[in-house]
Structure 1
Amino acid sequence: MRQQKMEAQMDAAGPVAADPYVALPRPDSPEGWPLRFQSPDPGADGHMRHVELGPQSVVLRRRVAGVPMKAARPLKAYQGLAVELLDPEGEGDGVAIVLAHADLALCVTLYSAPHIDDVVAEWRFWSAALGLPMLVSEADGTRRPAYAMIGRLTVGDTRERRARRGALKHRRPSVYRRRAAGRPIGEPAVHRGERELIARD
């Protein structure tokens, strides 16, 4: 029913002009999911498709020659969040953050702008929100993790042990200041032949 309603709305609205840049609202609570928005699709009627992005899956809907099509993929099937140039062969500074998939037709742009001012903040947010790694796109089209990864965990740089500084630098460790058990000096005194005082009622 929902799909039919959405398709009816698409037919009634006709082709929708695409915004040249994408800036999706950031969900700040579980109620903010899923996100529903339109994305350019050269192969679809009206050159647009409908995207439903949730914390667990991505659903793509479009019409081709009047035939409705739907593609649903789990979010874990995606490689990560890749930063790409909008015009790789040009001199522009436009960038995009793409939910990257091995099949280019399933990739989804989550953010794009004519400059790189906010790209790092958006990149980190969507990576954390979707639980996917941050990727860097190479000139040959391949993608690599922006940071060293073990599975889905980011490996941080090792930190050297902080050297002791200040007035306590040369202080002896407290383990050497612990008091040992007392030892008697000389032979213990033994008392013999003395009358013992006993209290009686």
Structure 2
Amino acid sequence: MVEAGNARKVQENVFIQPDWRADGGARRIRVTRDGVLIARRLSGVAMKIRVPLDAYQGVALDVLPAEDGSPLYLLSLAHRDSDFDILLCKTQDGGAVAADWKYWASWLGLPRLSAEEGVLRPLEAGAPVARRRDANVSQRRPRFLARRK
């Protein structure tokens, strides 16, 4: 987990997060622009799972009450399967988490989501801009067939 405000201009981020099923109770997560790699050991067997970024719904911000009554902000990558959710930062600083929320969403090319009572809602109207190949690529003919009529 990265402290709010510290996730700037990095090509990959590595997190160690709790995982009650893993040996040692932790898993190692690497987040890049290409996808997410989750590594853990289960009963002595090393496991690695690569999850593409388009499998994630977006970057979700959830606000919970802290022990002292102040708001606690949780910023995470939201997946349909909660086992693949990744906690990006946990802080009580609202300004820093807002900046990180915008940064993570633009860096990963995912929409910003608001988590309210367990329901994810998109913050912006419209679909996110995905990094995809040109739409007419499938309509092009291969080079060696382009000469033939």
TM-score (norm 1): 0.57
For structure 1, the 5+ residue unaligned runs are: 1-20, 154-201
For structure 2, the 5+ residue unaligned runs are: 130-149
Deviation at 1:89, TM superposition (A): 10
The percentage of counterpart residues that share the same residue type is: 34
| Deviation per residue, 1:17-66 (Å, 9 max, x gap) | xxxx63274342xxx32222312222212221111111011010011222
Going from structure 1 to structure 2, the CA distance change for 1:138 and 1:86 (only over 3 Å counts) comes to closer
The residue that corresponds to 1:13 in the other structure is none
The residue that corresponds to 1:26 in the other structure is 7
Deviation at 1:86, TM superposition (A): 4.9
Q: Is 1:143 paired with 2:120?
A: yes
Calculate the aligned-residue CA RMSD, in Å.
2.3
Deviates more, 1:81-90 or 1:106-115: 81-90
Task: Select the structure that is richer in strand.
Answer: 2
Q: Matches of residues 127-142 of structure 1 in structure 2 within 5 Å? A: 127-139=105-117, 141-142=118-119
> For 1:85 and 1:47, how far apart are their aligned partners in 2?
26
Going from structure 1 to structure 2, the CA distance change for 1:41 and 1:127 (only over 3 Å counts) comes to same
Q: Is 1:39 paired with 2:17?
A: yes
> For 1:92 and 1:65, how far apart are their aligned partners in 2?
40
Q: Is the Cα contact below 8 Å between 2:66 and 2:72 reproduced in 1?
A: no
> For 2:24 and 2:113, how far apart are their aligned partners in 1?
31
Could you say which structure has the larger radius of gyration?
Answer: 1
One-letter amino acid of the structure 2 residue matched with residue 58 of structure 1: V
Of structures 1 and 2, the one scoring higher in RCO (CA 8 A, sep 6+) is 2
Deviation at 1:113, TM superposition (A): 0.7
Report the secondary structure of 1:117's partner residue. helix
Number of aligned pairs?
Answer: 128
For residue 62 of structure 2, the aligned residue among 81, 84, 87 is: 84
